[in-house]
């Protein structure tokens, strides 16, 4: 057995044999899944079965942003709904096993589309259909009645947006290590112009193209992943952040978009919003605030990762350039922010 940072295979094997005897059919192997910038994700195999294990990052500074119990709970609750999710096998909250809580789920066929070279099969026609499917899955999530799936107490919808601004402000303070011109102005603008939420739903918290798995034949979304920030709240927060990931900072090789949504055939951000409004019946007239908040939230997330990178607490490659993304995100957030309509 070969251990990976954050994952010891011997203690994992012992835990599985004690709590899920018979689950594994052979010696475990593991591979770190690249591309993740927050929670750590590993492929686990035993020669016959394949699973995915999720655990918090090393040296994370805000435990509530990496809550494995919540992530496991929402995936389990959504099984059987119109929202595609992996089957959750088990949750471990004993930090003596891997040094942090973790959960294990079945591996689902499909690919997370992050770069153009990963999807040469994406013709303009297919890209257009995939754009619609991405929005439809989000609308389906927001249509799920939380009470009906046992998530009625999953969050506190009242004051959700105010708490979100405060929460990500707290995260910013916890990972502040350099001057970031404009970020405090953006934070203040958002806090001073919070819109009134029209409804409360299950919110994914980080919904984007590369947080779903896509199958090519037949074309579909086979699973929605990365539920670490899921809660009950304003569904337009998901829509605003999806717009941020869709349009990014306007660069040719934009790490925010991953370049895939800029391929021919993909819907524009405006078309995504229009389809969501038709599917959900939501009023999107104040979406500018939610987009600005999405830029602020992503800037804080990126800055937190940059903070962990400078402290030597990241695992994998590609972290050295992330810090350069923070200020462009802030600038776009300021441009998107507008005073609340009276």
**Residue that wins the pLDDT comparison between 34 and 315:** 34
For residue 153, the enclosing domain spans 116-336
Question: pLDDT band for position 61 (50/70/90)?
Answer: very low
pLDDT surpasses 50 at 87: yes
Statement to judge: residues 98 and 162 lie in one domain: no
In a domain, 234, yes or no: yes
Give the DSSP letter of residue 117: G
Asked whether the beta carbons of 293 and 306 are under 8 A apart, the reply is: no
Residue 62, pLDDT score: 46
Give the DSSP letter of residue 7: B
Measure the CA–CA gap between 146 and 228, rounded to whole angstroms. Answer: 17
Domain final position from 106, 135, 168: 106
In a domain, 217, yes or no: yes
Statement to judge: residues 191 and 51 lie in one domain: no
Residues linked to residue 224 through DSSP beta bridges, in sequence order: 212
In a domain, 232, yes or no: yes
**Which spans in the chain are helix H?**
9-19, 68-78, 95-98, 124-143, 160-174, 183-192, 236-247, 269-280, 287-310, 326-336
pLDDT surpasses 80 at 317: no
Statement to judge: residues 195 and 303 lie in one domain: yes
Letter string b/e over residues 264-296, b meaning 16 or more CB atoms within 10 A of that residue's CB: eebbebeebbebbbebbebeeebbbbbbbbbbb
The residue-averaged pLDDT of 204-232 equals: 94
Statement to judge: residues 87 and 124 lie in one domain: no
User: pTM of the full predicted structure?
Assistant: 0.89
- Read off the CATH number of the domain in which 64 is found: 3.30.200.20
pLDDT surpasses 70 at 273: yes
Asked whether the beta carbons of 96 and 232 are under 8 A apart, the reply is: no
Statement to judge: residues 140 and 26 lie in one domain: no
Statement to judge: residues 93 and 135 lie in one domain: no
Residue 254, pLDDT score: 75
The residue-averaged pLDDT of 274-291 equals: 97
Q: How many residues does the chain have?
A: 342
Pair of tokens at residue 101: 């809580």
Inter-CA distances, 193 with 188, 229, 237, 286, 290, Å = 9, 23, 14, 11, 11
Measure the CA–CA gap between 133 and 44, rounded to whole angstroms. Answer: 29
Statement to judge: residues 127 and 73 lie in one domain: no
Nearest residue to 213 via CA among 319, 124, 106: 106
pLDDT surpasses 50 at 256: yes
The domain tally of the chain equals: 2
Which residue is listed with tokens 């799936």?
149
In a domain, 51, yes or no: yes
Residue 71, pLDDT score: 92
Measure the CA–CA gap between 233 and 225, rounded to whole angstroms. Answer: 19
Pair of tokens at residue 67: 């809550």
Statement to judge: residues 54 and 144 lie in one domain: no
Question: pLDDT band for position 36 (50/70/90)?
Answer: low
Domain final position from 106, 138, 164: 106
- Read off the CATH number of the domain in which 255 is found: 3.90.1200.10
pLDDT digits 0-9 by tens, 142-161: 999 999 999 999 999 999 99
In a domain, 341, yes or no: no
Inter-CA distances, 191 with 1, 129, 201, 292, 339, Å = 50, 37, 22, 11, 11
Sequence-distant (6+) residues with CB within 8 A of 104 are: 16, 44, 51, 52, 53, 88, 89, 90, 92
Statement to judge: residues 131 and 249 lie in one domain: yes
Pair of tokens at residue 278: 């038709």
Mean pLDDT of the chain: 91
pLDDT surpasses 90 at 295: yes
Asked whether the beta carbons of 320 and 309 are under 8 A apart, the reply is: yes
Residues linked to residue 54 through DSSP beta bridges, in sequence order: 41, 103
Kindly tell me the sign of the dihedral angle through the C-alpha atoms of 19, 25, 31, 33. Answer: negative
**Residue 333 class from Cβ within 10 Å (0-12 exposed, 13-18 middle, 19+ buried)?**
buried
Statement to judge: residues 182 and 36 lie in one domain: no
In a domain, 151, yes or no: yes
Asked whether the beta carbons of 78 and 144 are under 8 A apart, the reply is: yes
Statement to judge: residues 13 and 146 lie in one domain: no
Give the DSSP letter of residue 228: T
In a domain, 262, yes or no: yes
Strands 212-216 and 102-106: unpaired
Residue 27, pLDDT score: 96
Statement to judge: residues 136 and 100 lie in one domain: no
Asked whether the beta carbons of 206 and 229 are under 8 A apart, the reply is: yes
């Amino acid at each position: 057995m070969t251990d990976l940072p954050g994952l010891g295979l011997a203690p994992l094997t012992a835990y599985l044999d004690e709590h899920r005897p018979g689950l594994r059919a052979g010696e475990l192997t593991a591979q770190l899944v690249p591309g993740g910038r927050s929670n750590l994700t590993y492929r686990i195999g035993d020669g016959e079965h394949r699973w995915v294990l999720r655990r918090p990052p090393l040296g994370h500074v805000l435990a509530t942003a990496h809550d494995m119990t919540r992530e496991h709970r929402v995936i389990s609750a959504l099984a059987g709904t119109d929202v595609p999710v992996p089957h959750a096998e088990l949750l471990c909250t004993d930090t003596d096993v891997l040094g942090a809580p973790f959960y294990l789920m079945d591996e689902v066929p499909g690919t997370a589309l992050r770069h153009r070279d990963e999807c040469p099969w994406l013709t303009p026609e297919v890209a257009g259909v995939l754009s619609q499917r991405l929005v439809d899955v989000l609308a389906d999530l927001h249509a799920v009645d939380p009470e009906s799936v046992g998530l009625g107490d999953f969050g506190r919808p009242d004051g959700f947006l105010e708490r979100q601004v405060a929460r990500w402000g707290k995260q910013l303070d916890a990972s502040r290590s350099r001057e970031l011109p404009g970020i405090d102005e953006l934070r203040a603008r958002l806090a001073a112009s919070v819109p009134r939420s029209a409804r409360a739903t299950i919110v994914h918290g980080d919904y984007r193209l590369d947080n779903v798995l896509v199958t090519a034949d037949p074309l579909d979304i086979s699973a929605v992943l990365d539920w670490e920030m899921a809660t009950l709240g304003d569904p337009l927060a998901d829509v605003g952040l999806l717009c941020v990931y869709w349009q990014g900072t306007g660069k040719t090789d934009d790490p925010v978009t991953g370049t895939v949504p800029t391929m021919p055939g993909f819907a524009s951000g405006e078309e995504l919003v229009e389809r969501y409004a038709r599917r959900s019946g939501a009023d999107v007239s104040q979406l500018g605030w939610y987009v600005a908040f999405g830029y602020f939230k992503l800037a804080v997330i990126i800055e937190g990762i940059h903070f962990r990178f400078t402290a030597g607490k990241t695992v994998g490659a590609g972290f050295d350039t992330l810090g350069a993304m923070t200020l462009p995100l802030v600038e776009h957030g300021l441009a998107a922010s507008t005073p609340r309509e009276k």
